[in-house]
Amino acid sequence: MHGIRKAFGATQALAGVDLRVEAGQILALVGENGAGKSTLMKVLSGAHLPDAGGMELDGVPYRPRTPNEARQAGVAMIYQELALAPHLSVAENILLGMEPVRYGFTRRSAMRQKAVEALRQLGRADLAPDTLVESLPIADRQLVEIARAVAVGCRLLVLDEPTSSLTHDDIRHLFALVRRLKEQGHAIVYISHFLEEVKAISDRFTVLRDGQSVGEGETPFTPTSRLIELMVGREVKDLYPRSPRVPGDVVLEVTELAGQGKPVRASLALRKGEVLGLAGLVGAGRTELLRAVFGLAAVRRGTVRVGAHVGAASPARRWAQGVGMVSEDRKTEGLALTLSVTDNTTLSRLQGLGPLGLVLPGRQAEATRRWIDALQIKCRDPHQPVGDLSGGNQQKVAVGRLLHHDVDVLLLDEPTRGIDVGSKAQIYRVIDDLAARGKAILMVSSYLPELLGVCDRVAVMCRGELQPARPVGDLDEHRIMAEATGAA
Amino acid sequence: MNAWIKKLGPLIGLVFVFALFAVLRPQKFPTMDNLEIMLLQTAVVGTAALGMTMIIISGGIDLSVGSQVALCTVTLSLLLNAGWTPLAAALGAVAIGAGCGALIGTLITRLRLSPFIVTLGMWGALRGAAKGLANETMVVTPPTWLNKLLNAVSAEHKWMLVPPGVWMTVVLALVVAVLLRYTRQGRHIFAIGSNEQTARLCGVSVERTKLTVYMLASCFAALAGVLQYSYLTVGDPTTANGMELDVIAAVVIGGGSLAGGQGSVLGSLIGALIMTAVANGCTKMDLPNWVQEIVTGLIIIAAVALDRLRQKKE
């Protein structure tokens, strides 16, 4: 691809991008959210037509007008949100749209055979082709999606943030699979926010910033700090700021808490003016713990004390007690995407925004503007639907809600997942600032450098059991992983 | 800019329909008398559409509106015949409506059934109840002032401009518009329709809000029933058959989204007016009923298609 340009209205999404990937090579495409990665890949896979520039595939001009044309030419896109039909079987999904047909009827045996072939190519002949996709774990669904690309004979695969919802084990399997595809001569474009992954899997990289390719090179010979510099266009100093923090009274105390399933047993004490991190594998029960504390999940045993309050919890009560939560899944739970930035920010506390208990949109917007400025949320105006914003800015809105409510205890579930480095830095600054001002923060994260950088203490959860919290000074990534995997 | 187009879209549609018929039938369509008639014809559907707007914004649907209207004309008539004063009988009918809404809302929130299924069931059950109460015939009632709610304004009451029933719809519309736009309850309804999980996360009591919405909506359906009675002057268990679809269409033409989170009172009223204008205009053009039905159907599809197109462009 060379000199690719694409504009949407007045926004120049791509302003001249060059990209090259060879057969048997894994190219990492990195860049902040909004840098143009998705747009570029949509051009590559036929979902958008470029305004200028050209593409060649195997030395032949390539200009797909639809995703289907791209697929037929051998280019397949594996999106973050998996595009499978959950009620159909593995085989039906793999061959969806290209079912072998005779006399107008699908040939089930031929279909199964082709599916098995594709799965074998991926080294997963054990996956039964008749299984319904809805009964598969997310990692296997991803595999089905990849098998679908392989079954049509695609030679260029684009993986967009493939690990964002996978566990460590699944990621290992995925990497093995990607390497296998590489050895079979496939070309792979790998998009990820996780620079460790990029380092681990890719041969070469291309960095996008503001719609332009600003750097490329061989991954093994490039330090991570250089990648970050290229991505943000400046040196990142103090990604994790740390103001003096003075731990105060215990504001949240969880004693022997057990939920339906997970957590099995969890006790913790969170003080004013500290950030307590919850580490652990995906599925260890950290999210469930936060939800139980916040009243979104049932408590089977144990108690949660917030300040002087003990007893049944509901989100409404928790907000009233000065506790707020940022959900790990901003699209399905964290934000109402069709509503405005203003509505999303003020939803939990609409009181005091007008006389007689009324809610005046002007006052609402005024209250929101303060947080738009403080968090540098990029939006046209406060009434813009939050779904129009980039992931990082959406997440800032979710955090802004807690600031608007002026809560004392913040429950943050993966607050920086899937967002760009700039937004991450912003959120770290906010967390630090809040802690310095005496707020208490309980934060779940699967990204260990972040936990070690932001938190004062970290507790590890393993199979639903929460280990005692320890100061970050006594911990490093290896010890956390050892505890999280139950090896310690 | 775009927000304005969205708000003005239905209005432009109404002006267009109006101008079209005004040009085609200048003597018959744009007269004061005919305007008044069109407002009268819109009052019933418009009142019911107020409730439906709230329901659709909250992400729900109510297929039983027509049956509720019929049930209310019947109960109102029976109460009148039992010697109740007109006002008490009307309030009694509204209370029955509130009861229906409470039942629907409880079934939806407690049993976690989809609103479509619950109200599909109620569509049949309430119609049956109306027929049972009325012994499957019309309930004839003595004339009272209720019958004059939708009478054309007489010469000595010219100061009223439009009949009291139309004023009632206008006042209720203002109340609902303020409720939706300027109260916590209203913002909560939008939030639930846009993303129920987010609403729950933010401490909105989703179940209670939904219950309130269905109860209020059924009260509006009952008031629509009072207007319908006023128009019919009898209790008729078979009246308003299929009205739920007109009501839903009015909301959708007015910019309501069946996915929830979108809709406006003004839009829904304009939607109802567009449908009346088309029906009335076609009659004035001496077009048969079936033409008018096809036109109305196409307008519903066109309105939503235009809205989609506009959103895609964005």
Would you list the DSSP string of A176-232? HHHHHHHHTT-EEEEE-S-HHHHHHH-SEEEEEETTEEEEEEEGGGS-HHHHHHHHH
H or E element, residue B185: helix B184-194
Q: Smallest Cα–Cα separation from B55: which of B237, B256, B203?
A: B256
H or E element, residue A13: strand A11-17
What's the pLDDT tens digit per position in A349-395?
A: 998 888 888 899 889 999 999 999 999 888 888 999 998 888 889 99
Q: Nearest 5°: CA angle at A129, between A123 and A134?
A: 105
Q: Are B204 and A347 an interchain contact pair (Cβ–Cβ within 8 Å)?
A: yes
Query: What residue ranges of chain A have pLDDT lower than 70?
Result: 8-12, 33-34, 80-82, 164-165, 234-238, 487-488
Q: Are B202 and A337 an interchain contact pair (Cβ–Cβ within 8 Å)?
A: no
Q: Smallest Cα–Cα separation from A383: which of B4, B172, B64, B34?
A: B4
Quick check: A390 and A251 in contact, CB under 8 A? no
pLDDT at A94: 86
Nearest CA in chain A to B260: A338
Which residues of chain B does A361 touch, with a Cβ-Cβ cutoff of 8 Å? Answer: 181-182
Round to whole Å and give the CA distance between A159 and A188: 7
Report CA Rg, chain A. 24
From the list A296, A332, A359, the residue facing B187 with the nearest CB is A359
Structure tokens at A21: 């990937």
Strand, helix or coil for residue B152: coil
Q: What is the residue type of B1?
A: M
Distance of CA B125 to CAs B63, B115, B119, B121, B236, Å? 12, 15, 9, 6, 16
- A324-355 in b/e burial notation, b at 16+ Cβ within 10 A? bbbbbebeebbbbbbbbbbbbbbbbbbeebbe
Structure tokens at A306: 């917030």
* Burial class for B43, CB neighbours closer than 10 Å (0-12, 13-18, 19+): buried
Terminal C-alpha separation, chain A: 49
Report CA Rg, chain B. 19
Q: Are B184 and A357 an interchain contact pair (Cβ–Cβ within 8 Å)?
A: yes
Which of A:390-409 have CB within 8 Å of B? Answer: 401
Structure tokens at B299: 């307008």
pTM: 0.79
Q: Are A315 and B203 an interchain contact pair (Cβ–Cβ within 8 Å)?
A: yes
pLDDT tens for chain B, 314 residues long, are 455 666 678 888 899 999 999 999 888 888 888 888 899 889 999 999 999 999 999 999 999 999 999 999 999 999 999 999 999 999 999 999 999 999 999 999 999 999 999 999 999 999 999 999 999 999 999 888 888 888 777 777 777 788 889 999 999 999 999 999 999 999 999 999 999 999 999 999 999 999 999 999 999 999 999 999 999 999 999 999 989 999 999 999 998 988 899 999 999 999 999 999 998 998 888 888 898 889 888 988 888 887 777 666 55
Nearest CA in chain B to A295: B201
pLDDT at A234: 61
Please give the mean pLDDT across all residues of chain A. 86
Q: Smallest Cα–Cα separation from B149: which of B170, B162, B165, B136?
A: B165
Q: Are B194 and A318 an interchain contact pair (Cβ–Cβ within 8 Å)?
A: no
Distance of CA A91 to CAs A84, A148, A221, Å? 11, 9, 41
Round to whole Å and give the CA distance between A96 and A89: 10
